[in-house]
Amino acid sequence: VGGHTNTFLYTGTPPVDDKVEGPYPYVHRRPDNSICLIVQAYRFGKYLGFLQLEVDSTGRVQKWGGNPILLSQAVPEDQVIVDYLWPYKKKVEKAVEKPVGSTKVLLEADNKLCRYRECNSANLMADAFLDYYANRNSSVPGAWSIVNAAVINGGSAKSSIPQKWNVLLGDLISLMPYDNELVLLNISGYDLLHMFEHGVAKFTWHPDLEGRFLQVSGMRVVYNFNFPSHHRVVSLKILCANCSVPEYEEVKGENMYRIVTTAFIANGGDGFHFNETVKKHIEGISAFDVFEQYFIKMSPIKTPVEGRVTVKHLPPKGNVHARAPRISYLRNPFPLVRLQ
């Protein structure tokens, strides 16, 4: 049973105009030819999942059927629960109407586009986290920042915010519905490269785009999907921190860097893992609070898409997985050398 990605699986024509991303259930066939049925019912409790199975005496599923059930007005509410939730609902409704600023640009996040390319909504979020720590004074003479960059997962950005002069707190919550603590990572260039390689190593369109695709502030990354998994980063640059003029430099494997990310990534979300040489520092800072204050400070928002993340030869949506040509290569990531 899937969760978190809000994937809508449905067989046939759905009762309302929600985008179907695959059949219900999605049938995954394992290497031993056994099957795994994957089900998921969109988001916000709009549908109730409903799956019927026929299982033989050995426990193997032989037949299946069903579809998510739309919880429309035809399904009566439980009045006891409605009455119990009413005072809390009114408090939430009042809170989300709080004005927080304006945006002159569309902040894109719909259709999971932040999971396969740069998007300005995630740029804005990452900018907020970098700004929060860059505003602290460094103990290094002449250093402009205590961190080099901010890195977040593309799955952090959920819903777009249109161009509007009255952006509300509820709009920010729709864009970034999951709060996290911010975490500082002291990380080597080699581990940083591995982090970015992991973000695109298992790229697939089906059954769903994964949220591990990384979005950045203070970094520039170029991917080439013509190369195999764990060899797709062809350029990785980061802002110097212990400098008086911030400039982008090629990441060097033996160098140490400090980045800000979320506890979700630092603690293994989306499959990210860090060895014990990567040091974590947590202060209990709310990522959403930092984002909200930055949005207020920077309004009206004008964040662009500006080449922070470049993707070359992304497989077309008809392909299930990114497939690489047969090549011979030498792997020396700093700088990267390949022979074709």
pLDDT in tens, 167-189: 999 999 999 999 999 999 999 99
**In this structure, are 129 and 221 located in the same domain?**
yes
**In this structure, are 230 and 200 located in the same domain?**
yes
% of the chain exceeding 90 in pLDDT: 77
**In this structure, are 126 and 173 located in the same domain?**
yes
**In this structure, are 102 and 206 located in the same domain?**
yes
Specify if 157 maps to a domain: yes
Strands 52-55 and 214-217, how do they pair?
A: unpaired
* pLDDT value of position 165: 97
Specify if 240 maps to a domain: yes
* pLDDT value of position 83: 96
Domain carrying residue 193: 98-312
**In this structure, are 64 and 113 located in the same domain?**
no
Domain count for the chain:
2
Specify if 88 maps to a domain: no
Which residues touch 169 (CB under 8 Å, ≥6 apart)? Answer: 95, 96, 97, 98, 99, 100, 292
**In this structure, are 110 and 141 located in the same domain?**
yes
- Is residue 248 predicted with pLDDT exceeding 60? yes
SS (H, E, C) 156-196: HCCCCECCEEEEEHHHHHHHCCCCCEEEEEEEEHHHHHHHH
Please tell me the pTM assigned to this model.
0.79
Specify if 192 maps to a domain: yes
pLDDT in tens, 24-42: 999 998 899 888 999 998 8
The CATH number of whichever domain residue 261 belongs to comes to: 3.90.780.10
